[in-house]
A and B are shown apart, each in its own frame.
Chain A
Amino acid sequence: MSAIATAQADDHAQDHGHHHKETFISKYVFSYDHKMISKQYLVTGIFMGIIGIMMSLLFRMQLAWPGESFAIFEVLLGKWAPEGVMDPNIYLALVTIHGTIMVFFVLTAGLSGTFSNLLIPLQIGARDMASGFMNMVSYWLFFLSCVIMVSSIFVEAGPAAAGWTIYPPLSALPQAQGGSGLGMTLWLISMAVFIASSLLGSLNYIVTVLNLRTKGMSMTRLPLTIWALFITAVIGVVSFPVLLSAALLLIFDRSFGTSFFLSDIFIQGEVLHYHGGSPVLFEHLFWFLGHPEVYIVLLPALGITSEIIATNARKPIFGYRAMVASILAIAFLSTIVWGHHMFVSGMNPFLGSVFTFTTLLIAIPSAVKAFNYITTLWKGNLQMNPAMLFSIGLVSTFITGGLTGIILGDSTLDINVHDTYFVVAHFHLVMGISAIYGFLAGVYHWFPKMFGRMLNKNLGYVHFWVTAVCAYGIFFPMHFVGMAGLPRRYYTNTNFPIFDDLMDINVVMTVFALIAGAVQVVFLYNFFYSMFYGEKAPRNPWKSNTLEWTTPVEHIHGNWPGEIPEVHRWAYDYSKTKENGEYVIAGQDYVPQTVPLQEGEEELNH
């Protein structure tokens, strides 16, 4: 049935298949193999995700029923919830660590780490990453940073609680907040290690994509997943070092008495010695990473959905060149828009004008991507696998969340919605939910490749539909809360009678959040059950064109037994017909990249 070339020369020199005897440690723990490292990232990411989402459920409960006593608070928070009532300090800490974990540990490392590792070698036709050792180090540094971050939760004075943006002076002065003591030190150390891990990983991805593509795999034949993951790595290399510098300077201010970010401070009856620093400088450094970070989170998700939508629509992705151009444009623009987080920070208003301009520019490639996705669905033959549902869901939330960016990116309009729940609703839809959908779509799609078994599709459908309804149920009403003027990071809004009428919205959002949290258990069950007992996967379950589906189901070191396949076409020849209207390969609506041009077939100039 499948048209994969079968004649393969038995070139033993290239066959890495059965050389080493692998011990448990070298196979499962300190593995150099990109497929194993990808699974390690995935499982670690999911574990961190469970922590992050649980935290959000706890503080959502506090917001809906402020000051109420819950047994679960007492069990999970201990001394931070005397008699089951949440303490304001731990509320801030939960918000902070939730943000940190979700942005960095789940959606950066969990998403990009998992799929870069899995897909880059497999889809470009490489035996492994350029440096397996560096890859292994990258994962274990990530693991170390996870351990440090999680351990910071158990610190006596509480974990970091200055918001995930850790603006000084709040984050710099232990006198200002309990969480700014040891908790913040651990946060900074954890992030420094995380950045090292991320840089090692990204450099590896870049080198691999540039140097290890198989014969015939030109840059213009790369699947969009690879383009997205590649550009993501580039953005990471450009922006993460700046966060490292911010973190280092903050460590200096905290521990060695320098004044990079601090000046003229009087706290607890005492004038501190700091002089001449500026918190605004920190904001610049932070957001120089912070904004590209949004795209580090989002681009892999968009790449994954491009691939999944094309495969399941049985159509080529519409406007391949435009998609690549959009990714490049977004990557470039993402580094010059950071100031839109700082319109009312006290920076020069003229800078605000510049950043408004660049920010609204970035809406253009984003719009092009959304339109291209919709056109790809048009006249398709949509195979509604769970991965496809999550991809369509992503396009939906990406549009909904992206549109409110027009308001937040406009310096004028930002004045009154800045730091309100409107922002929270915006970024959760556009990068939180969307990226999680991308992540889940990827897991459903490549699970057979990773574990050789299929996920249960029915559990997948339940998972998707309940999640989709709840995601909108949480974040759509949230816009109203923001436009009512309610600031974010308030432990409760009961001190303002003017916000009393928001109570029922808060309850609605929390109930949806609890349901959404509960339904993720279905996914977890499906994930871990199917890993061991799922239906055995065929080699190419989704009838996909890309190279990873030409490898055997059973993982081998080096990916392909025998020679690496040669590539003859782009990845999107779905439902391609010859001039006579017949499929290129009779009876098969897809043409894998390894199939040479057939007689009577034209290669498109895409």
Chain B
Amino acid sequence: MTALLTIIVLILIAIAVWQMTKIFEFSQIGIENAQVANDKDNKLNGYLMFAFLGFLYILTIFSLWKWSRVLLPEAASEHGKDYDTLMAISMALIFTVQLITQTLLHYFAFKYHGKKGRKALFYADNDKLEFIWTIIPVITLAGLILYGLYTWTTIMDINEDDDPIVIELYAQQFNWKARYAGEDNVLGDANVRFLNDYDGQNILGIDSSDPNGMDDVVSTTEIHLPVNRKVVFKMRSQDVLHSAYMPHFRAQMNCVPGMITQFSFTPTITTAEMREKPGIQDKVEHINELRAERRAKGEDLDDWEFDYLLVCNKICGTSHYNMQMKIVVETEEEFNAWMKEQKTFSETVAGTER
């Protein structure tokens, strides 16, 4: 069906193109040097340039109106607020410059379209103008650079002050695992060489000779985070490059085999609070409507509830497109309760031989 529709659309386009050429062709029968633009072409294309400017405006406004709701909701982390502010400033700047330059470009293209007898202005140079439009970007960009670098340094200053919770994100084709540092809040050493220990129960390759590792807790299903407490993530990968991307927290870091990378943030909004936000409720409602439509067509789909996500954002092979893990941000009490249910590494491997 879709194939048929596509074919019909393509045929219609082909006819439209053919008709347009005919129109163009009829408008210039019997003209010499017919393949060089004449006044008629200049005029027509000048007007089209102006129309194109209108198209750009309409496209922009339409997209903003229709698709603003797909954008990520407000940041759910502390540094994310700075991120969003900087993004807003940059976007404002971009839209302003875009508006001015595109308008001038297309307006000039329309206004000065060629006419027989028109004399173009011989205008080769103007140092003052050049200076102005060199210095304006310099100043604006200097401001952006300073603000950006300040934020960047703050985000990337990863330390273990303020009693953060230390979590390892462990990537492999094609799933995530999370390792909590346990009571001592120190992750035990680990290496891929230990992965086959304990009949393969040691799924993160924890070095059992390091006492720090014995109380570590591995979760293969969800990551739980207590709200308003700093998290330091240590990333590892066992096979190829992956990227730990947590869009709602404005957080991302690659997972590189052979080295430990890190990223740190403080979640500020619990999952439950986020689900209450009007923006999120609209989004969920809209998406569930779409899913209901698809269900009506026979697809097997559940209703969806908002959750934070950890997704893979570096091409990693066949199932790259489905490498995800749920993140739950909750109160300290809820977190502690969840933690109690988890098994430590020593409990997991108890009874199996190394």
Contact = CB atoms under 8 A, between A and B. Distances in A.
Contacts of A483: 71-72
Given A379-B112, A415-B251, A484-B71, A360 B141 contact: yes
Interface stretch (B192-200, B206-214, B338-346): B192-200
A457 interface: yes
B42 interface: yes
Given A420-B313, A514-B10, A392 B109 contact: yes
B83 A473 contact: no
A381 B319 CA distance: 56
Interface residues of A, number: 144
Contacts of B70: 480-481, 484, 501-502, 505
B275 interface: no
Given A384-B42, A541-B36, A88 B316 contact: no
A476 B60 contact: yes
B297 to A, nearest CB: 12
B239 interface: yes
B114 A314 contact: yes
Given A92-B320, A454-B35, A538-B33, A356 B251 contact: no
A318 B98 CA distance: 21
Contacts of B82: 412
A170 B256 contact: no
A169 B241 CA distance: 7
A403 B240 contact: no
B144 interface: yes
A25 B101 CA distance: 51
A588 B240 CA distance: 65
Interface in A444-472: 454-459, 461-462, 465-466, 468-469, 472
Contacts of B67: 477, 480, 505
A500 B48 contact: no
Contacts of B35: 454-457, 534-535, 541
A211 interface: no
A498 B10 contact: no
Given A163-B315, A169-B241, A501-B69, A382 B42 contact: yes
Contact of B130 (A319, A379, A415, A418): A319
Contact of B149 (A319, A356, A404): A356
A577 interface: yes
Contacts of A477: 63, 67
B153 interface: yes
Instruction: Choose among B13, B17, B120 the residue with the greatest number of A CB atoms under 10 Å from its CB.
Output: B120
A365 B121 CA distance: 25
B108 A503 contact: no
Given A345-B254, A364-B137, A458-B25, A407 B192 contact: no
Contacts of B321: 88, 489-493, 495
A404 B247 CA distance: 19
B115 A381 contact: yes
Interface stretch (B161-169, B180-188, B217-225, B286-294): B286-294
B284 to A, nearest CB: 9
A373 to B, nearest CB: 8
Contacts of B337: none
Given A72-B3, A349-B156, A498-B304, A360 B317 contact: no
Interface string A417-434: 011100000000000000
B283 interface: yes
A352 B149 CA distance: 9
Given A382-B114, A462-B21, A501-B283, A415 B2 contact: no
B327 interface: no
B151 interface: yes
Interface in B70-92: 70-72, 82-83, 86-87, 90-91
A363 B120 contact: no
Nearest to B151: A412
B177 to A, nearest CB: 13
Interface in B53-74: 55-56, 59-60, 63, 67-72
Contact of A170 (B105, B113, B152, B316): B316
Contacts of A489: 315, 320-321
B267 interface: no
Contacts of B86: 410, 412-413
Given A264-B191, A497-B291, A522 B17 contact: yes
Contact of A407 (B14, B41, B87, B134): B87
Contacts of A420: 313
Nearest to A269: B196
A381 B108 contact: no
Interface string B251-278: 1111011110100000000000000000
Given A278-B258, A413-B148, A400 B238 contact: no
A477 B112 CA distance: 31
Given A415-B251, A457-B35, A169 B257 contact: yes
Interface in B1-44: 2-3, 6, 9-10, 13-14, 17, 20-21, 24-25, 28, 33-37, 41-42, 44
B90 A407 contact: yes
Contact of A384 (B113, B122, B191, B253): B113
Contacts of B71: 480, 483-484
Nearest to A414: B252
A343 to B, nearest CB: 8
A420 B245 CA distance: 10
Contacts of A469: 52, 55
A382 B33 CA distance: 18
B86 to A, nearest CB: 6
Contacts of B120: 313-315, 379-381, 574-575, 589
B350 interface: no
Interface string A37-70: 0000000000000000000000000000100101
B193 A271 contact: yes
A7 interface: no
Contact of B124 (A71, A277, A320, A480): A320
A461 to B, nearest CB: 6
Interface string B93-105: 1100110011011
A500 B287 contact: yes
Given A477-B67, A500-B291, A411 B152 contact: yes
Given A89-B318, A318-B126, A505-B70, 16 more contacts: A168-B240, A177-B318, A262-B257, A315-B120, A320-B125, A349-B156, A374-B108, A383-B42, A412-B152, A416-B247, A457-B36, A462-B20, A487-B245, A497-B304, A502-B70, A518-B10
Interface of B: 2-3, 6, 9-10, 13-14, 17, 20-21, 24-25, 28, 33-37, 41-42, 44-46, 48-49, 52, 55-56, 59-60, 63, 67-72, 82-83, 86-87, 90-91, 93-94, 97-98, 101-102, 104-106, 108-109, 112-115, 118-126, 129-130, 133-134, 137-138, 141, 144-145, 148-149, 151-153, 155-156, 172-173, 191-193, 195-196, 205, 235, 238-241, 243, 245, 247-248, 250-254, 256-259, 261, 283, 286-287, 290-291, 304, 306-307, 309, 311-322, 324
24 contacts: A92-B318, A265-B192, A316-B124, A318-B124, A318-B126, A320-B124, A344-B254, A349-B152, A349-B156, A374-B105, A396-B56, A399-B105, A416-B247, A454-B35, A455-B35, A458-B25, A480-B68, A483-B71, A487-B245, A495-B321, A496-B324, A500-B304, A501-B287, A503-B290
Q: Which 9 A-B pairs have the closest CB atoms?
A: A263-B258, A485-B247, A349-B156, A458-B24, A497-B304, A454-B35, A384-B45, A346-B261, A266-B192
